[in-house]
Amino acid sequence: MVISERSGPSGEVPEGWKKANITLVFKKGKKEDPGNFWPVSLTSIPGKVMEHLILEAISIHKGEKKLIRSSQCGFTEGKSFLTNLTAFYSKTITWVYEGRAAGIVYLDFSKALDTVSHNILVGKLRKCGLDESTEGWIKNWLNQRFIFSGTEFSRRSVTTGIPQGSILGPVLFNHFINDLDKGADASSARSLMS
């Protein structure tokens, strides 16, 4: 715990905590297509403990500031896909009975976690008023990751992507897409599902 106590306030992440053994999990389709596999990052236990501590800090801050929009359903406590579907269905049916037009837009981001820009994400966390040490730790944790598979490993300067299978991944992705429906008509039925 001494390392965790030093890592959090300083924003420094020990190199061993950035190492990830990438395991490919088959999704669907042809097994010959590498795009049909989900890369899961298996990381160190101390790193996961620190991720939990950072998650707790973000959750407390998020709860106090009401940072996540009410339209956000994915990876949100007390909400689910069913919450999203029920709210959308209810609003749409009401409009149909009132004779109003109902337009539907579905977005599915291919490789969504892989395309998250670190600079944009950190900028959004900064706008939320997250303390500098937590913000710095997340930035450091995302950058200069080690990837190894079997006996080979390489250090890469990474500028996009959230480690899949990580503890912080879902919360960071929610922050990244939180303003996706910003500017939409207030009377519209909006729901974001990660």
Domain ranges of the chain: 15-64+111-181
pTM attached to this predicted model: 0.74
For the chain, list residues with pLDDT below 50. 1-2
62-75 pLDDT per residue, tens: 665 566 766 676 66
**N-terminal to C-terminal alpha carbon distance within the chain:** 32
pLDDT the model gives residue 2: 45
pLDDT the model gives residue 178: 82
